[in-house]
Each structure stands twice: as structure tokens, then as C-alpha cells.
């Protein structure tokens, strides 16, 4: 029967559930898994926060919420009947005289006096509460037993008030009782006799970055007692705790004597009679070593007087690159915890792999670590601060271990309100000891359990080594740790972050190197001035201008820009190679790389070299795009014009212009021919730097390995080394290319410059070009056969006769082979040259100067024929007033690039077997182009720290200027040679 009824009830419930699902199908489909946010403070006195349901739950009868807000306890006057942890049953105590509840809450007992707020019995000061007999039975009425403060008991109630214990020794010592006698001072649970210490202390911590001070609960509880116990009782732990509080106040001191550092310094002076320890005058007995002293200039003596007793070496059997630090670790209460090896991340707050963290302590490796840390993580990981006294650990003799104290430069230290350690003058610094990484303690205001209002973190730590000048054994001065703290006002810890950095730097005195560089720059700069003056004088002679005008000054500045660029380039490449070779190849440390801040001057020199070289390059480019050039056609008509009727007229047949067009096209093609392949140059440099790994030589570490472990720490780049590697690689590959093209390619494959000279001879065309008004170059292309317009068979016969020496030589003078000349012409010859081209000049000028009777085509034709005839007659000595002589240049003239003899009556043709007419082409300016490309590549790389980007932009730069040179050079060629641009392909 009961089974049937249960089944019926179950069926009714299922039916009701199905009905609800049919009526409200969206209830389950749209259910949202969300709750209301509640916390214990929202529940009030009669409810608790249920940690399971995360909501407020009402307490049972006669119960209230505990202080934690998560459990229910009995109300005042009620005792616990039963408790299983989840539920409590309370019962009211009988209404007897002054009923109370036992401290454990499970019994009711009469009280001899008043009640506490929680309903327990209250005893007068100096007494303990007794609720049970020795067998544990509950007494009917509690008893207040007085502790005996007299000898020999010297007892007082403990913290719980449940038993008598011996009172603190300082009370007994001052009054032979547990009462602090009159005139004595009670602080931190201790009793002190009068001393030299102030009766009141400053328990605030100054946070200078935020501009306010915080009353510290830690200081209020411990500062005065620690100072008194340290001074009066020589309590070692108290002295350490006092020192720690001074460290938390950033070692700052002023005229105020009742703050942490003021009290420390007072005790330091008061305990002078105790002497020092470890033979260190700044390390007072019983006190921690916090300061090096406040005498001016002490920092320089401590840091630069004596080198470390060990040397460092990068290679060889005595290789020593380990930087070993150890630290004595203390907690905030002054307890010594342990000796700890520095390197496991104790000074490095940023998380990283063990391999990368250990790399910081490899001598010569410029280490830099940066990260952003959440404030909530700092509060969690550093609930109690640790204090470190740092030492450098090294061995001397046979296994003897020595520790060298490492000084600290606290940039937040204030001396009379001034941040004295932030200046660059070492003599004004105040060196200290003991470092704290994260301080979450001093900024707590009310209780030690509350979240701090302000935290302080060592956000920037730098360990620097200075190399001893002129050392050959790797000697360095003691290291210096510079630390900068950040004060953070805690508002939203989960959202707040702080930037943290840790670095090791190695430096050497750069004054001597700078002096040598300045001397070299001054000497070479003076030579450049003289050389530029010589170039300007040569230019003045070649343009036949006797006066010094504004154009002359401008020309001098342009010449000087190029020469000074070469000076800067030689200095920077030499400097880069010096640091590259001596830093990477040295065994014992004798040089160290300049710091990034010391490289600014070097980068400035590189920038000056590039800017000046760019001016020189553009000057040369514009000069090449404005040269005067003309093709002299020696071909003469050899036949008569025959009409259709067969009648022969006396008019000679015209000379073919195709030979001139062909020579013009060849000249147009060789305008941008270089002694290297620019594309191969860019690709090969990038290959060696990035693929082979030469770029690794530019890292700020002592390793010369080209391949690096991807898991290992990669130091920062050195701009000097980066420039040295890149420029050297670019120049070496460029020189190798030039050597290959000059020795092999041009000799056995193709020499475009000499081929062009041969082409002129075969085409019976000479080339006259003027790079200056009265100076230029001449290529004698007059055929030894007298003509070139012929068929293939006859041309082959001509070439065969030349090969068998059955005809004359190609030279301008009889029985010579010299075809190329430098020409220095007279002013009269240049005037006649300009006079022939004058109609064309007027055509390109204002319309009022144009000859309306002639078309542009006719003007071109007449000018071409007149110029061809005139120049041909000059070469043939047909004009006695414009004659010339042929001679060799003096060696000194060739060296300085200047002609000593000025052509007054006769022009001078200088034999030129070096084909120097290429000076008006890219080919003859390869040095300028190579240096400009090198500087362009290096400047882009120094700005972007990317060899790939530098290679791409350098390739584009070469391509753009080559297009400009070809395009504008083509126009100049058609304008000066009178060749129609349509025939240039």
C-alpha cells in the first residue's frame, strides 16, 4: 500500500514538471548562470557569508556573526551547547549575579568583577583569570589571581591573560619588578632608562615621489623600542631592525634626529667607543653597515682608489668571466636568515629562464632586463620584505675566500631634502649599503594585516664595472650598484603595474680615445682644407677664371665637404675596426666598449660623414649631367649620286649617321657602368651579416662566435661594433668585386670602357667632351683605313690588316697607339666652340633671341655640320691660331690633378693611357659611390637596427639614382651632341 502511494506521488510530480516545461519552455532554454556579487561586509551582524553559496545566510537563534563574518557565534551571555562546525546551538546562561561565559564559550560561570564586551569575566591589571581547577573542573565562580611582580617571581600575565609568566628583562633591570619605574620609558613592550635618544620618534615614512608621508604602523610599533634596545642593551637584532627601517626610509637623513636614520646616526656616534669591526671604520660594532661616511669625495676614493684583487680574461687557460656576488639576507625584524648567492633572480624581479638570468653575471656581457609587473603580484610575492648586504665573492691564494663589500648608490637618498646622488659629480655622492627590493611593510597605516597604502619597489638597478686605465691584466675597480626606487600609491592593485629594469654595465675611461680622435680629426681636417684649396685652384684654372668670387667660395665648400666626409669616414671606420678587433680578440681584458651614452659622439661623426658625402655625391652627379660632349665624324663621301636615268651627278653621296647614333647609344649605356655589381653587393653583404652570422660580432659581449644558442641571452647591440662590422663587410666585398672586375673580368670577359674606345676607332668617330669650360677629354677614333662606311667583308679585311700590323696605328700622332687624352684648351678655342652652339642656346632661351627664319631641325643640322667641320679641322691643325701640342703630364701633375702650364696660345693634349675620361661617368667615381653606399647602408641600420631594411633601402637608393643619372644624362647627351633622342635606345 505504501509502495503504491509513493508511486502515485512520483507520477504526479513528473506530470507537474512536464506541464511546467510545456507552459514555460524558455525557462530552461534561457537560463543564465549568473549570481549577485556579495562579500562578508555586506551581510551585517545577524548574517554570515556562506563561502559555499557565496551569499549571505541568517544565523540561528541567539547567534551573531563573528568578526571574520564567515561563521556564527553565540550572543553575549549565551554558551555553546553543541557545535559540529556547520551549526551551533546556544543556550542562555542563568540570571545569577554577574553571570559570565567561559573563554572557550562552552560554560557559564560567575564573575568576581565586571564583564568584557564578549561576556567573559574581566580581571584587574596584573591578574590572571582562573576558571577551572587543576583537574579541569569548572569553578562556580571565577577567580582573579594576582601575579607576583616581586623577587623572585617577577611574573606578569601573558598575552592571553590565562597564566603568569616572567616579565620582560628590561623591566626587572630598571626597577627590580615588573613595573617600569618612574622616569623610565615604555616602548614596544620594553622598559628603558633615560638615554640620549629622543623621547618621541617620527614614525612616518616619506615617499618623496608622491610628495607626502605615511604614518607607518610598523615604525610606530618598533622604531623607538628598536633604537633603545640597540643603544642601551646592544641588542643585535634590534640594531638590524633599526637599520632596516632606515633603509625603508631610503637612507635619507637631515637635521631631524628622531626619524629612523636620525636615530641610527645618533647611536652610531654614541657607540664610537665600541670601535669598528672587520677593520672597516664605517662598520660600527653591534650596528649594521649602512653608510660609507659623509665626507666629500669619499665616493671617488672608495670606487677609484684600488682595483679588485682578481683580473678578468675572455680566452685562454686562465679564462675568468664569472662575476660572483653573495648577500647576507635579513628579514624586517632584524633576524639573519642566510648567506645567498646572487644570481637566482633575487635582484632580478623580472621572470626569465635560469640560463638568461645567469648570463647577467658573465663579465663583459652588457645585460639588460626589462618587464612590467602587476602590483597585485608584488603584494602577493613580497608580503614581508627582505634586506640584502651585497658582497663580491672571489678567491685569493690557495682556496682562500674573500668578500668585498659592494657600495650602493641610492638615487632616492635625500640629504637635507636634496637628491644628492642624482647628480653627475661623484664627489657629491653618498654611498650606502643594504638594499631592499620590494617594501610592502612601511606603507601600512592602521594594522599590519591591512593592505599597504603605498609600496616601494627597486624599479631600476644597474651594476657597473669600471676598467682600470691602461691595464693589461683585466683589472677593474670595485663595482657600483645604482638603484632607483618607485613609490606606488595602491588604489587598484589588479590594474596597476610598474616598469622594472635590471642591467649590468661595463665602462672604461674614454677621455684618452676622445683626445686621440680629436687630434686625428684636426690634423686630417687641416690636410683636407689644403687639398680642397688645391682642387679649387685647379678648377679655377680649368674654367679660365682669374678672379675669386662667390662661385669660387661655394666650389671650395663643395670640395671641402667631400674631403671632410672622407676624413670622418676614415675615422669612423678605423674606430669601428679598433673596437671590433680589440674587444673581440683580446685575451686579458684591456679595453671595454663605450656605453650607449658614450656612443653619441661616434654616431654624430657617422651622420656628418654621410651628410657631407651626400653633398659630394650630388655635386658630382650634377657635374656629370652637365658636361659638354660632341662626336666628331671623320667619314667623308666616297661616291656620287646616281639618278634613276643612270646619269651621274657631281654631288657626293651623304655620309651615314648611323655610326654616330651607334656610338651615342654606347656612350649612353656606359654612363652608369660601375666597377662592381650593386645588386650582388647588397645581397652578399646581407648574406654574410644575417645568414653566416657576422652580425653576432656586434653584440655587447666578449664572445666572437658567429652562431648563438637561441635559448641563450642575447645582449644589446653596440652601435660602434654594428657600424664596424657593416662598413667593413661592405668595403671588403666592394674591394673584392673591384679586384675581380679589374684583374679578371675586364681582362678576360668584357671591358666596356676600352671597348668604347675601340668602337670609336672602328666607327671612325672621335669624342670630345668638356668637364670644365677649358678642360676635358678627347678620344681619338679616326680610322686608320680612312673610312668606316663599308660592308662586312671589307670591315673584316680592315680588322685583319690591323691584327697583322699591315696598316698604321690608331694614335693621334703618327706611329703611336695613344687614343685618349686630357685636353686643356685655349680661351679662343672655347669661344669658337660656344659661338657655333650659340644659335641652339638662343633657341632654348627667350623667344626674342630665336631666329624665326630657321626651323629647329635646320638649326640642329647646321650646328652639327659646323661643329663637326670645325673640330675636325682643329684636330688636323688647320687653324694655326687654335693649334695644339701633345705632351705627357708630369707625375706630380697627375698626383694632384692640376695642370701647371696654362694654355695661352696653344691648347695642350696630355697623353692619357688610364682612360680618365671615365671621370665623367659612374665608372671613374667608384670610390665616391662605394663610400656613399656604405654610409647610406650604415646610417639606415644605425637608425633601425635592421640590416635587412638597410639592404632594401640601399638597393632602392642605388636604383633611383641610377635612373636619374640615365634619364637626365640621356637628355644632356642629345642636347650637347645634337643627336635626336628618338635614336637612343
pLDDT tens column, 931-967: 999 999 999 999 999 999 999 999 999 999 999 999 9
pLDDT at 105: 84
**Confidence band for 2, pLDDT divided at 50, 70 and 90:** very low
Residue 651, H or E segment? strand 648-652
Task: Tell me phi and psi for residue 64, to 5 degrees.
Answer: -135, 170
Identify the weakest region by mean pLDDT among 169-178, 250-259, 471-480: 169-178
Q: What is the pLDDT of residues 285-326, one digit of tens each?
A: 889 999 998 787 888 888 988 888 888 988 877 888 889 999
* Res 347 pLDDT > 50: yes
Most confident of 60-74, 382-396, 777-791, 953-967: 953-967
Q: Can you spell out the DSSP letters for 17-60?
A: HHHHHHH-THHHHT---------GGGS-SSEEEETTTTEEEE--
Question: Confidence class of residue 85 from pLDDT cuts 50, 70 and 90?
Answer: low
Q: Is the pTM of this model over 0.85?
A: no
- CA distance to 154, 558, 611, 926, per residue, from 606 (Å): 83, 19, 9, 20
Kindly tell me if the per-residue pLDDT of 27 is higher than 50: no
Q: What is the mean pLDDT of the chain?
A: 86
How confident is the model over 370-404, as pLDDT tens digits? Answer: 999 999 999 998 988 999 999 988 887 676 788 89
Between 485 and 281, the more confident residue is 485
Position 31 pLDDT exceeds 50: no
Cβ-Cβ contacts under 8 Å for 462 (sequence gap 6 or more): 481, 482, 483, 502, 503, 504, 505
Res 918 pLDDT > 80: yes
Range with the poorest average pLDDT among 478-487, 584-593, 782-791, 854-863: 854-863
CB neighbourhood size of 498 (10 A): 19
**Do residues 315 and 399 make contact, with C-beta atoms less than 8 angstroms apart?**
no
Nearest-CA neighbor of 713 among 502, 506, 507? Answer: 502
Q: At 23, is the pLDDT very low, low, confident or very high (cuts 50, 70, 90)?
A: very low
pLDDT of residue 36: 72
For residue 719, pLDDT beyond 50: yes
* pLDDT value for 840: 66
* Banded model confidence at residue 699, pLDDT cuts 50, 70, 90: very high
Return the higher-pLDDT residue of 260 and 278. 260
Position 99 confidence tier, pLDDT thresholds 50, 70, 90: confident
Residues 115-156: pLDDT tens digits? 888 888 888 888 888 888 878 888 888 888 888 777 777 888
In the predicted structure, residue 24 carries a pLDDT above the cut 50: no
Residue 623 has pLDDT above 60, yes or no: yes
pLDDT of 28:
39
How much of the chain exceeds pLDDT 90, in percent?
A: 44
Prior bond to 961 cis, omega within 30?
A: no
pLDDT of residue 280: 87
Q: 100: how many CB neighbours lie within 10 A of its CB?
A: 29
Q: Per residue in 632-653, pLDDT tens?
A: 998 887 765 555 555 555 566 6
Residue 317 neighbours by CB distance under 10 Å: 6
- The band of 5, judged by pLDDT with boundaries at 50, 70 and 90, is very low
Confidence of residue 735 (pLDDT cuts 50, 70, 90): very high
Residue 382 has a CB neighbour count (10 Å cut-off) of: 18
> pLDDT grade, residue 41 (50/70/90)?
confident
| Confidence (pLDDT) at 21 | 46
Question: What is the sign of the dihedral through the CA atoms of 579, 581, 584 and 587?
Answer: negative
- Predicted pLDDT at 34: 67
Q: Which of 125, 179, 176 is nearest to 151 (CA)?
A: 176
Contact 498, 458 (CB under 8 A): no
Of 102-111, 430-439, 759-768, 943-952, which range is least confident?
102-111
Find out whether 487 and 454 touch, Cβ atoms under 8 Å.
yes
Cα(444)–Cα(215) distance, rounded to whole angstroms? Answer: 8
| Residues 408-417, mean pLDDT to the nearest whole number | 91
How much is the pLDDT for 415?
Answer: 87
CA angle, 333 then 338 then 340, to 5°: 125
- Calculate Rg over the CA atoms of the chain: 48
Amino acid 538: pLDDT: 93
**Predicted confidence (pLDDT) at residue 618 exceeds the cutoff of 80:** yes
Residues 6+ apart with CB under 8 A from 146: 126, 127
Rounded Cα distance, 953 and 966, in Å: 20
Residue 645 host element (H or E): none
Q: Nearest 5 degrees, angle CA 239-CA 263-CA 215?
A: 100
At residue 808, does pLDDT exceed 80?
no
- pLDDT at residue 455, rounded to an integer: 94
Residues 12 and 6: their CA atoms lie apart, in Å, by: 10
Is-contact 388 328, C-beta < 8 A? yes
pLDDT at residue 189 is higher than 80: no
Q: Which helix (H) or strand (E) holds 527?
A: helix 511-542
Sign of CA dihedral 845, 846, 847, 850: negative
Query: Can you give the pLDDT at residue 25?
Result: 43
Give the per-residue pLDDT at 843: 57
DSSP state of 691: I
Using a pLDDT cut of 70, give the percent of the chain over it.
90
Amino acid at each position: 500500500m505504501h509502495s503504491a502511494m509513493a508511486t502515485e506521488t512520483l507520477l504526479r510530480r513528473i506530470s507537474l514538471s512536464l506541464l511546467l516545461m510545456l507552459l514555460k519552455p524558455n525557462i530552461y532554454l534561457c537560463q543564465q548562470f549568473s549570481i549577485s556579487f556579495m562579500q562578508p561586509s555586506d551581510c551585517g551582524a545577524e548574517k554570515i557569508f556562506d563561502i559555499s553559496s557565496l551569499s549571505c545566510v541568517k544565523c540561528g537563534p541567539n547567534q551573531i556573526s563573528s568578526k571574520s563574518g564567515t561563521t556564527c557565534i553565540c550572543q553575549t551571555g549565551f554558551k555553546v551547547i553543541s557545535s559540529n562546525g556547520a551549526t551551533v546551538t546556544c543556550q542562555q546562561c542563568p540570571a545569577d549575579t554577574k553571570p559570565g561565559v567561559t573563554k572557550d564559550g562552552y560554560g557559564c560561570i560567575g564573575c568576581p568583577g565586571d564583564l568584557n564586551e564578549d561576556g567573559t569575566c574581566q580581571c584587574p591589571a596584573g591578574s590572571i583569570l582562573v576558571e577551572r581547577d587543576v583537574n579541569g573542573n569548572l569553578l562556580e565562580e571565577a577567580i582573579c589571581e594576582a601575579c607576583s611582580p616581586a623577587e623572585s617571581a617577577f611574573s606578569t600575565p601573558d598575552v592571553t591573560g590565562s597564566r603568569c609568566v616572567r616579565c620582560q628583562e628590561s623591566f626587572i633591570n630598571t626597577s627590580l619588578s615588573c613595573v617600569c619605574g618612574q622616569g623610565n620609558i615604555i616602548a614596544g613592550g620594553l622598559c628603558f632608562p633615560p638615554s640620549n635618544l629622543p623621547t618621541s620618534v617620527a614614525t612616518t615614512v616619506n615617499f618623496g615621489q608622491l610628495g607626502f608621508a605615511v604614518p607607518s604602523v610598523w615604525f610606530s610599533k618598533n622604531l623607538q623600542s628598536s633604537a633603545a634596545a640597540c643603544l642601551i642593551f646592544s641588542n643585535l637584532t634590534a640594531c638590524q631592525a633599526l637599520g632596516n627601517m632606515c633603509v625603508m626610509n631610503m637612507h635619507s637623513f637631515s637635521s631631524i634626529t628622531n626619524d629612523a636614520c636620525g636615530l641610527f646616526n645618533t647611536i652610531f656616534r654614541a657607540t664610537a667607543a665600541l670601535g669598528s669591526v672587520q677593520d672597516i671604520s664605517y662598520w660600527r660594532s653591534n650596528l649594521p653597515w649602512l653608510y660609507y661616511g659623509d665626507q666629500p669625495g669619499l665616493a671617488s676614493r672608495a670606487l677609484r682608489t684600488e682595483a679588485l684583487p682578481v683580473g678578468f680574461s675572455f680566452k685562454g687557460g686562465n679564462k675568468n668571466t664569472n662575476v660572483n656576488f653573495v648577500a647576507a639576507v635579513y628579514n624586517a625584524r632584524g633576524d639573519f636568515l642566510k648567506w645567498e648567492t646572487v644570481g637566482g633572480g633575487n635582484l632580478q624581479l623580472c621572470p626569465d629562464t635560469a640560463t638568461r638570468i645567469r648570463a647577467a653575471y658573465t663579465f663583459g656581457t652588457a645585460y639588460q632586463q626589462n618587464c612590467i609587473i602587476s602590483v597585485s603580484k608584488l603584494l602577493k610575492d613580497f608580503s614581508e620584505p627582505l634586506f640584502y648586504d651585497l658582497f663580491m665573492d672571489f678567491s685569493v691564494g690557495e682556496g682562500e675566500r674573500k668578500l668585498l663589500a659592494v657600495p650602493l648608490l641610492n638615487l632616492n637618498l635625500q640629504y637635507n631634502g636634496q637628491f644628492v646622488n642624482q647628480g653627475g659629480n661623484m664627489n657629491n655622492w653618498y654611498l650606502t649599503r643594504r638594499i631592499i627590493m620590494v617594501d610592502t611593510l612601511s606603507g601600512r597605516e592602521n594594522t599590519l594585516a591591512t593592505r599597504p597604502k603605498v609600496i616601494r619597489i627597486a624599479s631600476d638597478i644597474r651594476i657597473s664595472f669600471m676598467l682600470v686605465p691602461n691595464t693589461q691584466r683585466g683589472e677593474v675597480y670595485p663595482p657600483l650598484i645604482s638603484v632607483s626606487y618607485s613609490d606606488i600609491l595602491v588604489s587598484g592593485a589588479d590594474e596597476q603595474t610598474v616598469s622594472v629594469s635590471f642591467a649590468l654595465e661595463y665602462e672604461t675611461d674614454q677621455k684618452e680615445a676622445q683626445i686621440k680622435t680629436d687630434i686625428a680629426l684636426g690634423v686630417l681636417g687641416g690636410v683636407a682644407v689644403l687639398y680642397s684649396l688645391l682642387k679649387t685652384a685647379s678648377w679655377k684654372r680649368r674654367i679660365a677664371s682669374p678672379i675669386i668670387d662667390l662661385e669660387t667660395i661655394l666650389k671650395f665648400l663643395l670640395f671641402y665637404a667631400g674631403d671632410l666626409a672622407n676624413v670622418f669616414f676614415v675615422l669612423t671606420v678605423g674606430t669601428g675596426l679598433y673596437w671590433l678587433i680589440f674587444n673581440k680578440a683580446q685575451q686579458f681584458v684591456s679595453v671595454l666598449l663605450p656605453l650607449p651614452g658614450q656612443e653619441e659622439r661616434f654616431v654624430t661623426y657617422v651622420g656628418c660623414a654621410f651628410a657631407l658625402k651626400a653633398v659630394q655625391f650630388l655635386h658630382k652627379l650634377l657635374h656629370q649631367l652637365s658636361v659638354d660632349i660632341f662626336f666628331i665624324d671623320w667619314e667623308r663621301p666616297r661616291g656620287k649620286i646616281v639618278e634613276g636615268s643612270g646619269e651621274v651627278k657631281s654631288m657626293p653621296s651623304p655620309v651615314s649617321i648611323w655610326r654616330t647614333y651607334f656610338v651615342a647609344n654606347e656612350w649612353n649605356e656606359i654612363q652608369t657602368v660601375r666597377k662592381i655589381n650593386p645588386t650582388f653587393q647588397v645581397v652578399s653583404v646581407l648574406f654574410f651579416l644575417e645568414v653566416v652570422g657576422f652580425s653576432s660580432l656586434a653584440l655587447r659581449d666578449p664572445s666572437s662566435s658567429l652562431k648563438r644558442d637561441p635559448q641563450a641571452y642575447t645582449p644589446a647591440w653596440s652601435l660602434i661594433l654594428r657600424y664596424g662590422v657593416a662598413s667593413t663587410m661592405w668595403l671588403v666585398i666592394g674591394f673584392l668585386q673591384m679586384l675581380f672586375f679589374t684583374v679578371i673580368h675586364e681582362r678576360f670577359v668584357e671591358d666596356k670602357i676600352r671597348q668604347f674606345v675601340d668602337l670609336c676607332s672602328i666607327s671612325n668617330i672621335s669624342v670630345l667632351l668638356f668637364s670644365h669650360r677649358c678642360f676635358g677629354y678627347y678620344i681619338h677614333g679616326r680610322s686608320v683605313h680612312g673610312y668606316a662606311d663599308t660592308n662586312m667583308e671589307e670591315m673584316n679585311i680592315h680588322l685583319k690588316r690591323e691584327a697583322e700590323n699591315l696598316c698604321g696605328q690608331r694614335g693621334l700622332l703618327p706611329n703611336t697607339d695613344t687614343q685618349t687624352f686630357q685636353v686643356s684648351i685655349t680661351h679662343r678655342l672655347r669661344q669658337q666652340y660656344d659661338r657655333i652652339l650659340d644659335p641652339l642656346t638662343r633657341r632654348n632661351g627667350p623667344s626674342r633671341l630665336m631666329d624665326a627664319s630657321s626651323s629647329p631641325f635646320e638649326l640642329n643640322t647646321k650646328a652639327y655640320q659646323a661643329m663637326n667641320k670645325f673640330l675636325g679641322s682643329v684636330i688636323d691643325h688647320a687653324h694655326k691660331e687654335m693649334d695644339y701640342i701633345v705632351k705627357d703630364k708630369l707625375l706630380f701633375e697627375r698626383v694632384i690633378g692640376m695642370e701647371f702650364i696654362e694654355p695661352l696660345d696653344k691648347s695642350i693634349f696630355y697623353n692619357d693611357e688610364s682612360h680618365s675620361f671615365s671621370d665623367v661617368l659612374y665608372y671613374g667615381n667608384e670610390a665616391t659611390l662605394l663610400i656613399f653606399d656604405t654610409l647610406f647602408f650604415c646610417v639606415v641600420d644605425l637608425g633601425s637596427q635592421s640590416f635587412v631594411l638597410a639592404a632594401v633601402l640601399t638597393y632602392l637608393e642605388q636604383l633611383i639614382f641610377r635612373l636619374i643619372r640615365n634619364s637626365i644624362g640621356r637628355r644632356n647627351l642629345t642636347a650637347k651632341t645634337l643627336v635626336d633622342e628618338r635614336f637612343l635606345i
